[in-house]
Amino acid sequence: MWRLALIPFVLHAGLMLADETMHVRRGLGAWERWGHPLDTLSVLLCYGLAVRLPVTASGAMMYAAAALGSSAFVTKDEWVHARDCSGAECWLHACLFLLHPVLLGLVGAWAFADLWPGISFAADATGRSLFGRFLAVQLGLTIVFAIWQLLFWNGPWKPSLRIARH
């Protein structure tokens, strides 16, 4: 059953790849070149809190606040997207916005599972949570993605702006 929790992450990764491909095609203005890596950093904050916060009610509340903040924060670019994106890209963003709180909710459920009886994640022979291992990989991949976003979009070789107005 725990494998079902992985589906939104895989779907999200595929949609993010499609979104980045669209960004490369159309180019990004300064707002998005900095805003998108900040979105990724807000997710990294949540992942980091999930791994580090104590499994207490106050830890869960801190995580929930960060997850809600991140879910709201990622919508900040919509006024730019409305001007610069195709309908297909706007739809893709809507799908990503729907998945964002689902992913962070799953991470929170894993991180604070001991607070809610009945929630459990499968463990391997060493007793480690398999979802915990998955989250460690997800955290690493998200760090790599954040670095790529920062360097690709903001390095000295950044792509020239090619935004076509829609």
Q: How far is CA 23 from CA 16, 126, 158, in A?
A: 10, 42, 12
Read off the pLDDT of residues 58-67 as tens digits, 9 standing for 90 and up: 999 999 999 9
- 8 A C-beta contact, residue 59 and residue 112: yes
What predicted TM-score, i.e. pTM, was given to this entire model? 0.85
Read off the pLDDT of residues 68-119 as tens digits, 9 standing for 90 and up: 999 999 999 888 888 888 899 999 999 999 999 999 999 998 888 777 665 5
Strand partners, 110: none
Tell me how far apart the alpha carbons of residues 157 and 122 are, in angstroms, rounded to a whole number: 45
Delimit the domains of the chain by residue range: 2-154
Tell me, rounded to whole angstroms, the distance of Cα 89 from its chain centroid.
17
